[in-house]
Amino acid sequence: FIHSESCYLDDDVTPRFPNILSAKTLSNLRIKKDIIQFSCQYLNRPIPTEHQIFKLESMATIPKDTVDLSRVEAYGFCDPALGGSDYSAIVTVLKHQGKWVVFHADLSRIPHSKIIDKIVQLHSLFNYKAFGIEANSIGKAKSDPDFCNFELVLRERQAEANVTIPYKLIWHSTQKYARIESIESYYSNHQLQFLSSWNQDYPVLIEQLIHFPLAAHDDGPDALAGVISLIIKSQAQSQVLHPRAH
- For the stretch 208-220, pLDDT in tens is 998 888 777 899 9
Residue 3 reports pLDDT greater than 60:
no
pLDDT band for position 44 (cuts 50, 70, 90): low
d(CA 161, CA 117): 10
Q: What is the pLDDT of residue 12?
A: 64
Question: In angstroms, what is the C-alpha Rg of the chain?
Answer: 19
Residue 2 reports pLDDT greater than 50:
no
Residue 102 reports pLDDT greater than 90:
yes
Average pLDDT over residues 146-156: 94
More confident site: 219 or 83: 219
Q: Which amino acid is at 123?
A: H
pLDDT band for position 187 (cuts 50, 70, 90): very high
pLDDT band for position 113 (cuts 50, 70, 90): very high
Q: What is the pLDDT of residue 179?
A: 95
Whole-angstrom CA distances from 101 to 104, 153, 181, 193 are 9, 30, 18, 5
Helix (H) or strand (E) holding 156: helix 149-161
Q: What is the pLDDT of residue 56?
A: 87
Average pLDDT over residues 220-234: 95
Q: Minimal CA–CA distance to 128: which of 230, 20, 205, 233?
A: 230
CB atoms within 10 A of CB 130: 19
Whole-angstrom CA distances from 63 to 30, 66, 123, 224 are 19, 6, 22, 20
Of all residues in the chain, the percent with pLDDT exceeding 70 is 83
